[in-house]
Structure 1
Amino acid sequence: MRYPTDAAARSLSVLILFTLFAGDFWRNLIGWWGYLGLVAAISAVVAVVMTRRRLWSKLALWRLPRTLVLFGLLAALSLAWSFYPGATVLGLLAQAATTLAALFLVTALSWPQLIAALSSALTWILGLSVLFELIVALFVRQPVLPFWTDYGDATVPKAFYWSQDALFTGGPIQGIVGNRNILAFVAVLALVTVGVQLAQKLRRRNTAIAWLIVAVAVLALTRSATAIGALLITAAMFGVLLLARRAGPGRRMWVLAGVAVVTALTIVAVSAFGQQILAVFGKSDDLTGRVDIWSAVAGLAAQRPAFGWGWVSYWAPWVEPFNDLAVRKGVTYLQAHDAWLDVWFQLGIVGLVLFIGLVLATWYRTWWFAVDRPLDSLGFPIARVPLTLAPALLLTALIAQSFVESRMLVEGGWALLVVFAVKSKLDHSAVSIDLGNGPARVNALLSRSARTARTAASRR
């Protein structure tokens, strides 16, 4: 059997990322059984490719982030005390499949290839979403329900519709993912990945600008307050990273101190003018029912504070306590709409401490990856490139979203967290990391100290 070509690996990576961020598209199109078959097939292919290409050898256990390993072990061990063991088994299988996909992305792709694959998957989702909504608006002209689902004669809540045929009425549109918040967040991530590629000339200029326009248009048509908030926080972090790059190593602590002050002032301002801010985004005082959900979940978490109720990933609506834990307008919610609260509920304070450690350590490494100078093959610093900003910006967006959504624990959100946690750890001490410069540009960017060292060596 021949090893897969790099092109095949990249195509597989795009399919993986597309499926992770557009899982609802597959579930709405081919049903749950078709989706599970697709995921099983992709997981099998990934396992075979990693074995045939000996990618497992890059993943020595002692090199992986300890907090990630311990968090995974705690989730697996929670089966012993889970209140819903059957749902925990399903949740662990889903988490394992997602983690396997993430590890393949880490080992098979360089940083430029990873950002390129993510950018391609996100733009595919945006492009198909616009096309889907356009077809519904022009030809179907009525809301569309998912295929292979029989709702009988019951009144179907709006949240169940795949598309609500709202493109020509100004939105909110839901795209192929069937959820405006998910689609809007995909647009936010696309703005980061395509923007970085454009800045480093890793993508054709006209094509990149066109996708940026599409992403902005989708973001406007979804009218998602959570995604807009995440975008604003990510934009602020972009400014901080640029400032830290210019400030140099000795002054970066002052930059972080300034960020802390601004964050504190922002929290005070949001607390004081929360109702006015919500009114601007057309949100109710209870954040579309989130306050009630948080209260209910916190009450249950307090009953099992140390180790939680057991890992479940997405909530299982067919078992207690999820069957009536968060129901709004006929819709049973499948998450706590807060990743941190969800972890406390499922894995207790112990799991929450590990999760906080995982996120903070990953963000710390991506911060230094963004602001420090990369190294050449001799270990000397060369000029920074826009690509190194991407992990920190994408992780910032995930963290911002995690306070109102739990998607950092599942599918695309969890995959990106694992990718950044593992890849930033494995590449932490690497020199001459492929950053998309090409050999000619790397040589052109060699520091004066490197040239001096080479000259001195040649005279000996």
Structure 2
Amino acid sequence: MSAAGAPRPTWLGTLLASAAFARAYTVTVLAAVLSSFAIERMSGRVTYVAIIAGLCVLGIGVLIARRREISFVRLVPTTLVAFVGWALASVFWSLDRTDTWWSWVAMAGIVFLAVVIGHIRDTLQTVRALADVLRVLLGVSLGLEILSGILLDIPFRFLGIQGNIADLGPIQGMFGTRNMLGFVAVIALITFMIEYRTQAVRPGVSLASVVLAGSLGVLSDSPTVLVLGVGMGLATGALTLVRHARREQRSALQWALGSLVVVGVIVGYLARHPIIAFINAGRDFSLRVDLWNVMLDYVVRRPVQGWGWYGPWQETGIPFASINYQLGEVYGTGLNAFFDVLLQLGWVGLILFIGLVGTALVRSWLDASERRSVVYAWTPLMLIALMIDSFFESFTLTGAGLMLLVLCAVRAGQSRSWRERVDRGRDAGLPRVPAGG
């Protein structure tokens, strides 16, 4: 017993509460989730599930060991609780309750890991950990592509690598598809640039990292990379303009930028056909439109509650098997996060999902526009990248995309939330501890 009468921490508690363990845990979680495709292809899904389950158990231990420094009032944003709770409720009206239950458990595991990271690492520490992981994974992807397409000249079918790097793409790396590689490359570019601006690593490392991510993004030949690049460039410019504006001018500037976004979305929709032709994505977009139209036919049958939460589509599940049969294709997702949520969780789920993303984006954007450090720009830029990509893929609903979304939502909720005011009010009533006490 200690002098104050409280039990002394055990060696396990001390280890789980240490900063070194927090960094190792964060790097391990990010590496495991981002490498999910490669892990499943090489060792099977059971191995990946065992890794995630083990990390969740460790995460529970970390939260218990750090319980005195974590505010459980601010542990999870309300919007996230509502969305995950509605997905759980869909078990009761799903046509396959067992699959829906286990799909929800898989989602809850990723959400929990993101919540743990959001509370044991600050924004800069998260950026550095993510940058380290992305450098390794992108480097391995490039090495595998060179080995497959140049040195051995044979495809690595077990990893989905076609060996097209000698023809300048498209390449997939260790992420399964060119669109996923392009998405990861854009996320890496954002992270590497923030890392460079904060001087977290040497300039040479930052430059090499940016060249690596940019090269793989181009070689992926993914149509979404160009759209993401343009969108992120505009978002970065707008955020930079707001950050350098005078405080009394920021409110008017924010409204003006918001109006421009609305006008831009309308113009982009009206000019969608020339834009699609310019980026040479006519066939991809045509396939997506056909898929979305069929999905909407099934949404009409269950407009409010949806068909139940599955995340990635089940090959024999309803309505996914019916949609694929009707189109004569084998789709694993709805190729649009919003349509996927609408199909699986109905209009209620879509409203909750938009509320989760919108609230996190507004909070993080306002926070980044007022804070001096550029590291706070990482959260809103990451959310914007996730939302732009959600119009073309469903990465945001599973795996690394879901983890980044939840991590950003937790981070945003820590700075601008009613929970923060509750904590401040509670702390204000506590007696001050003398220095050294």
Pairwise TM-score range, normalised by the shorter structure: 0.7 to 0.9
Q: Are the counterparts in 2 of residues 144 and 162 from structure 1 also a CA contact under 8 Å?
A: yes
1:69 alignment partner, one of 68, 75, 81: 81
2:31 is the alignment partner of 1:18 = yes
TM-score w.r.t. length of structure 1: 0.83
Q: Are the counterparts in 2 of residues 327 and 333 from structure 1 also a CA contact under 8 Å?
A: no
Change in Cα spacing, 1:272 to 1:110, as seen in structure 2 (3 Å) is closer
SS at match of 2:52: helix
Specify the alignment match of 1:140 in structure 2: 152
Code of the residue aligned with 1:72 in structure 2: it is V
Name the CA distance, whole Å, in 2 between partners of 1:282 and 1:316: 31
Code of the residue aligned with 1:103 in structure 2: it is V
Name the CA distance, whole Å, in 1 between partners of 2:51 and 2:339: 31
Change in Cα spacing, 1:271 to 1:369, as seen in structure 2 (3 Å) is closer
Code of the residue aligned with 2:194 in structure 1: it is V
Code of the residue aligned with 1:200 in structure 2: it is T
Specify the alignment match of 1:407 in structure 2: 395
2:115 is the alignment partner of 1:117 = no
Q: Which ranges in structure 2 are unaligned for 5 or more consecutive residues? A: 1-10, 422-437
Q: CA deviation at 1:130?
A: 0.3
Name the CA distance, whole Å, in 2 between partners of 1:49 and 1:63: 14
Q: CA deviation at 1:207?
A: 0.4
Specify the alignment match of 2:281 in structure 1: 283
Q: Are the counterparts in 2 of residues 79 and 85 from structure 1 also a CA contact under 8 Å?
A: yes
Specify the alignment match of 2:298 in structure 1: 300
Map Cα deviations across residues 97-132 of structure 1 (whole Å, 9 max, x no partner): 101110110111111111111112222221111011
Percent of paired sites with the same residue? 29
Q: CA deviation at 1:59?
A: 5.1
1:397 alignment partner, one of 370, 375, 385: 385
SS at match of 2:332: coil
Q: Are the counterparts in 2 of residues 137 and 166 from structure 1 also a CA contact under 8 Å?
A: yes
Report how many residues are paired.
406
Q: CA deviation at 1:400?
A: 0.7
Name the CA distance, whole Å, in 1 between partners of 2:104 and 2:293: 26
Map Cα deviations across residues 248-292 of structure 1 (whole Å, 9 max, x no partner): 333234323433443344345434543332233221256151111
Name the CA distance, whole Å, in 2 between partners of 1:107 and 1:243: 30
Name the CA distance, whole Å, in 1 between partners of 2:262 and 2:80: 29
Q: Are the counterparts in 1 of residues 76 and 115 from structure 2 also a CA contact under 8 Å?
A: no
Q: CA deviation at 1:14?
A: 1.4
Map Cα deviations across residues 180-208 of structure 1 (whole Å, 9 max, x no partner): 11111111111111101111211111001
Q: CA deviation at 1:372?
A: 0.8
2:349 is the alignment partner of 1:351 = yes
Q: CA deviation at 1:412?
A: 1.4
Specify the alignment match of 1:32 in structure 2: 45
Change in Cα spacing, 1:328 to 1:190, as seen in structure 2 (3 Å) is farther
Select between 201-210 and 333-342 the one with higher mean Cα deviation.
333-342
Specify the alignment match of 2:427 in structure 1: none
Map Cα deviations across residues 381-423 of structure 1 (whole Å, 9 max, x no partner): xxx1111111011111011111111111111111122112122
SS at match of 1:323: helix
Specify the alignment match of 1:90 in structure 2: 102
TM-score w.r.t. length of structure 2: 0.87
Specify the alignment match of 2:229 in structure 1: 231
